[in-house]
Structures are given as C-alpha cells and as structure tokens.
Chain A
Amino acid sequence: MSRSQEFAHGCRDILPLILGAIPFGVIFGTLAVAAGLSGWQTMGMSSLVFAGSAQFIAVTLITGGVGAAVVLLTTFVVNLRHALYSAALQPFVRHLPGRWRVPLAFWLTDEAFAVVQNRYARDDGSPYKHWFFLGAALTMYISWQLATLAGVAFGRAVPDLASWGLDFAMIATFIGIAVPMMRTRPQVASALVAGAVALLTWDLPYKLGLLAVAMAGIVVGVWLERRAEAAARLEGAL
C-alpha cells in the first residue's frame, strides 16, 4: 500500500472510536467552562494535553479547589498506562527519525493505540505503517478539538449547567473503560481493593488517597497473578 492509502486507512479505522470520544469531548468542554476555565484555556488543555481522562479529572479537581501539585500527580497516575502503549509500539517506531517519533508519541491515545496496534499486527510487510498511525492519530486529534469546541459553546449557552450533575459523565466513562479491563480474577480483586481503599482514604487531603489506591491495587493484583502462576506451574509439574 502507498503512503496515502495507509494514511486514509488510518483515518477510516479510527472512526468507530471517535464516535465514542465525541460525546466525551463535548462533555469535557461543557464541564471545563462550568469549572471556570476560559474558552481559550479549555481549548488549550484539549490541544496541548490531549488526554481525555486526565483532562476530566483535572477539571473536577479544579472545581474542588485542590492545588496544582495534586492535579499534576493525578495526571501522572492516570496517564501511566500510556507508558505501556509506548513500550508496546516501540519496536515498530524505533527506526523512524525524531520528527516522526515526537508527534506520534504526542498523539498516542487509548484510541490510537487500539487501532495502530492492530495494523502493526497484520503481517503484510508494508513499509508505510507509520502513515496509518499518523492518519488515525490526526483524525482523533482533530475530532477531539472540534468536540471540545462544541462543548465550550454549549456550556456558554446553558449557564446553570454546573448544578446538573454533569460530573456523572466522567463516572460513566470510567466505568465504560475500567469494567471491560477486568477480565482476570486478579484484575477484579485489584479493583475491589482499590475501591475500598479509596473510600477509607477519602478524608486524606489533596486526594493523596489515590497514591495509596494505586499501591494497593498493584500489590493485590501482582500477588494474585503470581500465586495463580505458581499454582499453574505446580499443576503442570504433576
């Protein structure tokens, strides 16, 4: 396939995921305005940070009046999963020059990772798969900006929006992301412990509980996973 064909296929393959991201972006724009961000700041966050869940949480935290250090720490914890994506795609982009790797990394979202990983997995020897990556990532980026813009306009048109409980949109979105990830028993146990720790540490200042949650989730998940592996090895040996 040629460069432009790869690019076009990238744009096409990410469309279903964009359908899910558009309401998310509209709601983000609306919430950000309700939280007191200006239109420029809201667009600035979408175009510079470009990480939906982190943007959502940042806006919720800003509404709650917490300090910048907490927002940044939360951004780190919430976006840590992107390190996994970066590691998974590394073998496919390592030969590219920096002018490719830097923008592709900047545009590496959950959605882009899902379709790009699929493309690299198809073993057809195409040398232009990074054009597919570019098409998918760019389409996602532009859609996210337009959705945010629509949300800003909507938030301005309905001034009383803050009292509607739009923050539930974030809860529904996170349920939609997290529940399908809970495929294994250690994942479910890790989530249950995380939920319990979150409730227990709710009174800690600055959402510091989130750190405790991440630690508890990791420890429980890894411990159960290793126990299951050891049990499987034992069974294999018998």
Chain B
Amino acid sequence: MSTWLLIFGMLAITFVIRYSFFAWPDLRFPRAIEQGLHYVPVAVLTAIVVPGMLMPEGAWALHWDNAYLLAGLLAIVIAALTRNLLATIAGGLLSFFLLRWALGQLPI
C-alpha cells in the first residue's frame, strides 16, 4: 500500500513541475533562478554517478577489480566522444558485464 502512496506522490510532484508553466501562461522565471536551474541536472546526476562508481557497496572501492569504476570510466569516455546516449549505455553495460564475468563476480 505504501508503495502506491509513494507512486501517487511521485506522480503529483512530477506533474506539478511539468505543468507549472503550462498552467500559468504569464509565469516567468527570474533570470537568477533560471540560471541556477541550469546546473541542477548535471550536479544531481554526477552526485549519483560518482559514489556509485567509487563506492558501489557503500565503502571506498579504489581497486582494479571494481567493475563499476572501470566500466564507468569507459562510459564517460564513450559519452564524451560520441555524445550518444544509446552508445554510452550499450558500451558501458557490455563492458561492465564482461568485466564482472572475467573477474568471476557473476552468479554463472
């Protein structure tokens, strides 16, 4: 039940954000706020990616058998070179699972 409440909460928040400017045709962002908002996506996404690569299990994992770190770095290179989302996801996932398989970290 609480999962459904959560889903409806997420629906409400997401819809209000998306509908905000459609609902009030005369609403405008002050320039300072718009300027600030431009940095939110990159900051938030980076904040999820970096700990996910460096401490995938919740503790520092700066070693060579950390597939999250190695495949993540490769994905960053692919993204910087191609700027293509699909190539980044496919290349990153493929190298991640190949690495985990080679390192004996998969349950197969």
Residue A45 at the chain B interface, CB threshold 8 Å: yes
Q: Mark B43-82, 1 if CB is under 8 A from A, else 0.
A: 1111111111111100000000001100110011001100
**In the complex, chain A residues 79-128 whose Cβ is within 8 Å of any chain B Cβ:** 79-87, 89-90, 93-94, 101-102, 104-106, 108
What distance in Å separates the Cβ of A137 from its nearest Cβ neighbour in chain B?
11
- A residues contacting the other copy or chain, number (CB 8 A): 88
Contacts of B41 in A (CB 8 A): 80-81, 177-178, 181
Any B CB within 8 A of the CB of A199: yes
Q: Which residue of chain A lies nearest to B35 when distances are taken between CB atoms in the complex?
A: A222
Question: When the two chains form their complex, are residues A48 and B45 in contact, meaning their CB atoms are under 8 A apart?
Answer: no
Per the bound structure, the CA–CA distance linking A234 and B93 in Å amounts to: 47
Q: Select one of A76, A90, A175, A199 contacting B51, CB under 8 A.
A: A199
- B54 and A165 form a contact (CB under 8 A): no
Q: Across the interface, do A214 and B43 meet the contact criterion of CB distance under 8 Å?
A: yes
B50 touches A180 (CB 8 A): no
Are B43 and A84 closer than 8 Å at their CB atoms? no
Out of A37, A180, A195, A222, which one reaches B83, CB within 8 Å?
A180
Chain A residues with CB under 8 Å of B76's CB are: 175, 179
Task: Select one of B11, B32, B44, B88 contacting A172, CB under 8 A.
Answer: B88
Q: Which chain A residues lie closer than 8 Å to B51 at the CB level? A: 198-199, 202
Chain B residues within an 8 Å CB radius of A198:
46-48, 50-51
Q: Is A235 an interface residue (CB 8 A)?
A: no
Interface string of A67-85 (1 = CB under 8 A from B): 0100110011111111111
Nearest residue, chain A, Cβ from B83: A180
Main secondary structure of the interface of B (DSSP, over half): helix
Contacts of B2 in A (CB 8 A): 68
User: Do the beta carbons of A76 and B17 come within 8 Å of each other?
Assistant: yes
Decide: A168 near B40, CB < 8 A? Known: A37-B3, A72-B13, A106-B18. Answer: no
CB of A114 to closest CB in B, whole Å: 11
Q: A83-B17, A85-B18, A179-B80 are in contact. Are A213 and B47 (CB under 8 A)?
A: yes
A183 CB to closest chain B CB, in angstroms?
10
The stretch that binds B, out of A3-11, A16-24, A149-157, is A16-24
Contact present for B49 and A178 (CB under 8 Å): yes
> Once the chains are docked, how many angstroms separate the CA of A210 from the CA of B47?
7
A/B interface sample: 10 pairs, CB < 8 A:
A79-B13, A87-B29, A90-B21, A101-B19, A106-B15, A165-B105, A177-B41, A178-B79, A194-B42, A194-B50
Q: Which residues in B have some Cβ–Cβ distance to A below 8 Å? A: 2-11, 13-15, 17-23, 25, 27-29, 32, 34-56, 67-68, 71-72, 75-76, 79-80, 83-93, 96-97, 100, 105-107
- Can you name 7 extra interface pairs (CB under 8 A) apart from A106-B18, A168-B72, A194-B46? A20-B85, A49-B11, A68-B5, A176-B87, A192-B46, A195-B47, A225-B35
